[in-house]
């Protein structure tokens, strides 16, 4: 069986066209949010904390801000993209189209990841207006951004499949993902925590994602870049396996 590239491209373009209709709001929001974070964290806290791990505090929080935007957008885009066809009943047209489960997931997750990466780059560009940035490993930075966008878009795809209402669609991002991000070293180094809390924090998977992304910028890491990559790859494979099982069994797809 050959890969239906044209079908994937058509579904991908359809999802991107929907994003294009709301692109102004989608890109203005991270700009405003990033500016507010720098006003609050950069000015209020940065004036009292000059450096973290040899990096100016304003620059230190940039990877965390980018990841916060990417996490949120990846999960939202991935979940809403597949939930809306379920809500309107057009999911059956997609399931009956000449597309394999892999091709369908590739189109939806690819579109969600593309949107998330664009928002992440806009957030990064906005941050560069406030603080001087350096990226010691640009290819690694783009690689981390791509892997995280795809992984969490896939995670959002799962949320969209299992959700039966818009309230359920927002439950996990609001009550789980955002708190984990704030507690994952986005705005501080975990080395600044007491020993007991540092041990607890190491069970937060978001720590490894933000830490690896920050390493690509400044070459500093709290837990090790190899562990960060392994954690992301493991979560990606778990999400891929769950999606494969859901398509194979039809769970929350056909009923």
17 domain-assigned: no
116 domain-assigned: yes
6 domain-assigned: no
> Measuring CA to CA, which residue among 66, 241, 87 is closest to residue 154?
241
> Alpha-carbon distance 113 to 228, whole Å?
19
Q: Please, are residues 157 and 105 in contact by the beta-carbon 8 Å criterion? A: yes
9 domain-assigned: no
Strand segments, DSSP code E, in the chain are 51-52, 55-56
Q: What is the predicted pLDDT for the residue at 244? A: 87
- Of the pLDDT bands very low, low, confident and very high (cuts 50, 70, 90), residue 173 is confident
- Of the pLDDT bands very low, low, confident and very high (cuts 50, 70, 90), residue 50 is low
255 domain-assigned: no
197 domain-assigned: yes
12 domain-assigned: no
**Number of domains within the chain:** 1
Q: Is the dihedral of CA 133, 139, 140, 144 positive or negative?
A: positive
131 domain-assigned: yes
Residue range of the domain that includes 141: 26-249
Question: What phi and psi, each to the nearest 5 degrees, are found at residue 84?
Answer: -60, -45
What's the pLDDT tens digit per position in 123-145?
Answer: 888 888 888 888 899 999 999 99
> Measuring CA to CA, which residue among 173, 219, 231, 169 is closest to residue 60?
219
């Amino acid at each position: 069986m050959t890969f239906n590239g044209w079908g994937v491209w058509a579904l991908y373009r359809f999802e991107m066209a929907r994003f294009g209709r709301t692109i102004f709001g989608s890109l203005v929001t991270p700009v405003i949010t990033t500016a507010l974070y720098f006003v609050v964290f950069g000015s209020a806290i940065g004036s009292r904390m000059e450096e973290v791990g040899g990096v100016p505090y304003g620059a230190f929080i940039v990877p965390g801000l980018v990841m916060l935007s990417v996490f949120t957008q990846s999960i939202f885009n991935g979940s809403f993209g597949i939930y809306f066809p379920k809500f309107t009943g057009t999911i059956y047209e997609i399931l009956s189209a000449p597309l394999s489960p892999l091709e369908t997931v590739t189109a939806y997750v690819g579109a969600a990841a593309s949107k998330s990466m664009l928002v992440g780059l806009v957030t990064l560009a906005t941050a560069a207006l406030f603080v001087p940035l350096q990226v010691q490993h640009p290819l690694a930075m783009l690689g981390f951004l791509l892997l995280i966008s795809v992984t969490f878009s896939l995670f959002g795809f799962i949320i969209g499949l299992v959700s039966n209402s818009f309230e359920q669609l927002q439950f996990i991002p609001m009550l789980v993902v955002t708190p984990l991000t704030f507690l994952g070293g986005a705005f501080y180094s975990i080395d600044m925590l007491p020993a007991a809390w540092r041990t607890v924090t190491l069970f937060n998977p978001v720590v490894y994602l933000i830490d690896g992304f920050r390493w690509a910028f400044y070459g500093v890491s709290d837990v090790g870049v190899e562990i960060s990559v392994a954690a992301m790859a493991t979560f990606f494979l778990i999400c891929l396996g769950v999606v494969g099982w859901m398509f194979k069994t039809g769970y929350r797809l056909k009923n």
